[in-house]
Amino acid sequence: MKRNSLIISLILIILNTNAQVPQAYLQNQSLNYSQVIENYKILANKFPEAKLVEYGKTDVGKPLHLFIISPEKEFFAKKLQSENKTIILVNNGIHPGEPEGIDASLLLAEEILNNPKKLKKDLKNVVLCIIPVYNIGGHLNRSPYHRANQQTPEQHGYRGNSRNLDLNRDFVKLKSQNAQSFVQIFQEWKPQIFLDTHTTDGSDHQYVITLISTQHNKFPKILDEFFTNKMIPELFKEMAKTEYELTPYVYPMDYSKGPESGIRAYMDYPKISTGYASLFNSMAFMTENHIFKDYKDRVKSVWLFEKALIKFAKENSAEINNKQKLANEFTTTKREFAIEYQLDTNNYTFFKFKGYEAEISISPLTQIKRLQYNTNKPYEKTIRIYNDYTATKTITAPYAYVLPQAWPEIIDRLKLNSVKMKQLAKDTLLELTVYYADEYQKSKRQQQGQNTLSNLKISSKQMQIQCFEGDYVIFTNQVSNEYIVQMLEPEGMDSFFKWNFFDEVLEHREYFSPLGFEENAIKYLEKHPELKEKLKEAVIKDEKLAQSHYAQLKFIYDNSEYSEKSYKRIPVYRMNNEIYIPLK
């Protein structure tokens, strides 16, 4: 009997300890990985409305988890989508040194599930999906010293993942297993609303929480209007009822003058989580907690923002689903796609900003002048918010793209992102538009371990291309159109070409030597007098060419059929009009 009583006591102690773990943030503690997952397991085992699912691996070898709260106890994504549920996906710990969302989301899940009446009321027509920790490798690498600007919490994770990638730059190139597993989650659940939780530093101000909304100009008009005119203002109003008023992310027009110079909207390109989500008409946000505020307040503010998101989703579920449906229909038939944007400085709104006076003081460490914000001198000033971007370059989508099967890395990524593709049934010669990378620059500084391409000068021409059985045809009549165009067009914002996926075509595989080629060059000029005349004219105009034996032979080589046609030719071909092609 005593032994049984002891076992029961130990179980109660364990249960009580587990129940208290989510409150660690009150003591300036952030939960470690095992604590986070164990607590979600406890909730999933205790409540039939919750489920913890593993989705693929991460680079550190551990699975990526998704915690689902579904009041109807239904966990099949397609079934929930068919019932017009509004799905919210929350991603935490992409930068584990910014752990507020990890703790806040567990706090939220525990609160919702422990109150059955509140669960059915708050999540009416809503399904909440939470990624407990995204960058697991970085979260396992805990230290008080990773974030040099940060004093709280006592320990936190490392920004890079286990292969030292910044996962918030990996959403389209999918170099990490984390990102590949995330895309599986995103494409299966197709959330109407997406939230990624972060922390920021920079200027000091009175706000605990700041908000990045995905750049609204990228959305179809019908979704843009709903997102900009209804959703964002309602979230700001809801947070204003709490002790944690929102401000737009503090991205000053002029850093030397601070927020008083105005705040610009952040342009989130597809490599960024919210930029990726918006490619699929998901209304996306990043909370950016202020690093200098107490950790307990940072966690609580995220928890309250998540509640505000859920409330808005519940109250506007039908409209959210309808707007996204119409936006998806528009995207399916959309022909013009913006691939470059510029901040519109002529359009702005006004915002009452609560900041601190900036002062120049003497550093107690170096005894040198420094910029400092005086928290004893708060101010409230009306500033400008520049929230609009204008498209400065657009691309007209072709009827279809043709992608050779020789590029499996691209094909795999397209498939992961739910892109529908057909394959040629037999070898076929097709008249297609091809791109050439006439000029480009490789970054001197590596980004994510790669020397990305920029300053592109692209030319195009019609050519007959020999395509083969099994090559892929990608029609631009699908919901994934925005993703397809941005990734396959070389000048897309974060295209596969810019991210070095096609670098092999930028290298010569054939060549000529002056000794061996000269005899063939003479014969070729005899058969092609127009090239001979072209060479004469060029020699007259260009003194360097006139004096160089090699340069003249290269001129003949480059302008003849000897030239390497595949050199700098990007292997993504445009089929501009509907033609018959044999498909499997």
The model's confidence at residue 1, banded by pLDDT at 50, 70 and 90, is very low
Q: Who has greater pLDDT, 151 or 386?
A: 386
Residue 434: per-residue pLDDT: 98
- How would residue 552 be classed by pLDDT, with cut points 50, 70 and 90? very high
Whether the predicted pLDDT of 389 surpasses 70: yes
Query: Per-residue pLDDT averaged across 102-107, rounded?
Result: 97
The model's pLDDT over 16-32, given as tens digits with 9 standing for 90+, comes to: 444 456 788 998 989 99
- Is 50 exceeded by the pLDDT of residue 144? yes
Give the percent of the chain with pLDDT over 70.
96
* Residues 284, 196 contacting (CB under 8 angstroms): yes
Q: In a 3-state reduction of DSSP, which class is residue 438?
A: strand
pLDDT attached to residue 215? 98
pLDDT of res. 19: 42
- The answer, yes or no, to whether residue 4 has pLDDT greater than 90, is no
Q: What is the pLDDT of residues 372-388, one digit of tens each?
A: 889 999 999 999 999 99
Q: Measured between alpha carbons, how far is 160 from 508 in angstroms, rounded to an integer? A: 35
The architecture in CATH of the region 2-332 reads 3-Layer(aba) Sandwich (3.40)
pLDDT in tens, 252-294: 999 888 899 999 999 999 999 999 999 999 999 999 999 999 9
Task: Give the bridge partners for 193, in sequence order.
Answer: 88, 283
Residue type, 395: I
Q: What's residue 196's pLDDT?
A: 98
Q: Which amino acid is at 272?
A: I
Those residues with Cβ within 8 angstroms of residue 365's Cβ, 6 or more apart along the chain or in another chain: none
> Is residue 3 over pLDDT 90?
no
- Whole-number pLDDT of residue 350: 97
Contacts of 293 (CB under 8 A, 6+ apart): 208
Give the per-residue pLDDT at 59: 97
Question: What are the backbone dihedrals phi and psi of residue 488, each rounded to the nearest 5 degrees, phi first?
Answer: -90, -30
Residue 417 has a pLDDT of: 98
CB 403 within 8 A of CB 472: yes
pLDDT of residue 21: 60
* pLDDT class of 201 with cuts at 50, 70, 90: confident
Mean pLDDT of the chain: 93
Task: Compute the average pLDDT of residues 492-515.
Answer: 94
Banded pLDDT at 297 (limits 50, 70, 90) = very high
**If residue 308 lies in a helix (H) or strand (E), which one and from where to where?**
helix 295-315
**With 70 as the cut, is the pLDDT of residue 7 above it?**
no
Two tokens, residue 577: 């009009």
Beta strands in 265-398 (DSSP E): 283-290, 336-343, 349-362, 369-386, 389-396
Instruction: Give the helix/strand (H/E) hosting 527.
Output: helix 514-527
Tell me, rounded to whole angstroms, the distance of Cα 413 from its chain centroid: 14
DSSP-derived secondary structure for 39-57: HHHHHHHH-TTEEEEEEEE
- Residue-range domain boundaries for the chain: 2-332, 397-508+566-575, 514-558
Burial (0-12, 13-18, 19+ Cβ within 10 Å), 491: middle
Scan for tokens 């059915």, then name that residue.
Answer: 120
Q: For 82-97, b where at least 16 C-beta lie within 10 A, e where not — what string?
A: eeebbbbbbbbbbbbb
At 494, list the tokens.
């974060």
Measured distance CA(470)–CA(403) in Å, rounded? 10
Tell me what pLDDT residue 255 has: 86
What are φ and ψ of residue 99, in 5° steps?
-95, 10
pLDDT (mean) for 145-170: 89
Which bin fits 559, alpha (ψ -120 to 50), beta or left (φ > 0)? Answer: alpha
Dist CA 491 CA 339 (whole Å): 7
Most distant CA pair in the chain: distance in Å?
108
Measured between alpha carbons, how far apart are the two ends of the chain, in Å? Answer: 72
Q: Tell me the C-alpha distance between 318 and 50, whole Å.
A: 23
Region 514-523: mean pLDDT is 90
- For 100, residues 6+ apart whose C-beta sits below 8 A from its C-beta are 197, 199, 287, 289, 295, 298, 299, 301, 302
Residue 92: both structure tokens together: 């935490």
- Give the position of tokens 């092999």: 504
C-alpha angle 189-195-197 in degrees, rounded to nearest 5: 135
